[in-house]
Amino acid sequence: MRVLLSTYGSRGDVEPLVALAVRLRELDAEVRVCAPPDQEFAQRLAGAGVPLVPIGPSARALTTGAPPPSSLPHRAAELIAGQLDTVVPAAEGCDVVVATGVVPAAAGALSVAEKLGIPSVSVTFQQLTLPSPHHSPLAYPGRPFPPEVTDNKVLWDLDAQSINVLFGAALNTNRASIGLAPVDDVRDYVVGHSPWLATDPVLDPWLGAPCLDVVQTGAWILPDARPLPADLTAFLDSGTPPVYVGFGSMPMHTSSDVSRVAIETIRAQGRRVLVGRGWADLAVIDDQDDCFVVGEVDHRALFGRVAAVVHHGGAGTTTTAARAGAPQVVVPQGTDQPYWASRVADLGIGAAHDGPTPAFESLSAALRTALAPETRARASAVADSIRTDGAAVAAKLLLDMVGAERPPVTV
């Protein structure tokens, strides 16, 4: 079996595909991954023995550059064109295509599968892109929903309109270039009838929706065999468990202020500090020995040794901290992150910070909640309920799908 996994986005869009690729290889499948050309993604895939087919511009450069919302249609057209140029040859000879990432990238990959007559699966790593009466959609930059509209059905109709305005012309122009008919509703085309939701059902319970047969596999997380670096281990061993603060792929344009507020607030709680550098390039603010900066490490192993995790609320970081039993403070920056912050608070495994900019008083209040003994006890209890087999489940489903599509062999 040959499988093409295609995405465009941040670390949270790429890392789950690494886990799925490894599980597929364990089933003797040949796997290729189309993803942004960032060095960290290439290194991560290479470490798993999976080749990267680079596509589009650097995701980090695009994210940290903070392009204006008005550029979305132009960037979508470039991204879809790049998908067609790259994914078509990469998908030749494949038995199935798995498409995820930002909407135009997923739409481009699904169009390639359609053109080549290859079965495809649309995957999301958070349910807020799936139309449902139980939640509202995410607003796109520059296209806020009218504040007086609260009916979810109306909001989902407005969401479809926004997606068509932003991405419809780009998608259909590129589809025409490879001989495909236009699509009337970009969102419905990307979501399809039976999308996969690669999230944990405890952290992200799917309540159902008309006309959608959602397959929730569990989160795709790969156990990391890398040991923690020796200097990090020495820091952890030298004192009480520190509080980790890091914002992953979020640029945090006032990163020096964020570093100072976070470190001073954590110190005021009598705790040592681990600073996750991330795409914001967070750093220490002085030469005191109670702070340590970490780069690329195994978060599951690290989070099992900290007092709490302060983070942006990405799906992957939230799930990893939950699996490790680490209390969390989520400082959401946008998109789906307020949702994950609310889930952490609702489950009692941490606190949701009010707003994207931490201040001493607000972060102190959230940390007091996270560091309370009852929060630690609840986080430990929830950790035992988090599924660990999501990527294996998805790999087996793909294998079964390909087997069902193939004609029977006659002898």
Q: Is residue 410 part of a domain?
A: no
Q: Is residue 316 part of a domain?
A: yes
pLDDT mean across residues, the chain:
93
Q: 246 near 276, Cβ under 8 Å? A: yes
Q: What is the pLDDT of residue 62?
A: 83
Could you give the percent of the chain with pLDDT greater than 70?
97
394 shares its domain with 364: no
180 shares its domain with 249: no
Q: Token pair of 356, please?
A: 């994207």
203 shares its domain with 278: no
Q: What is the pLDDT of residue 221?
A: 92
Beta-carbon contacts of residue 247 (< 8 Å; ≥ 6 apart):
258, 276, 278, 279, 280, 282, 311, 312, 331, 333
Residue 276, domain CATH: 3.40.50.2000
Q: Is residue 281 part of a domain?
A: yes
Average pLDDT in the 388-408 region?
87
334 shares its domain with 361: yes
State pLDDT tens for residues 250-288. Answer: 877 555 589 999 999 999 999 999 999 998 889 999 999
Average pLDDT in the 166-187 region?
97
Indicate if the pLDDT at residue 147 is higher than 50.
Answer: yes
200 shares its domain with 60: yes
Provide the domain limits for residue 19: 2-222+388-405
Domains contained in the chain, number: 2
Q: Is residue 92 part of a domain?
A: yes
State pLDDT tens for residues 88-144. Answer: 999 999 999 999 999 999 999 999 999 999 999 999 999 999 999 999 999 998 899
> pTM score, two decimals?
0.93
Indicate if the pLDDT at residue 41 is higher than 90.
Answer: yes
d(CA 364, CA 369) in angstroms, rounded, equals: 9
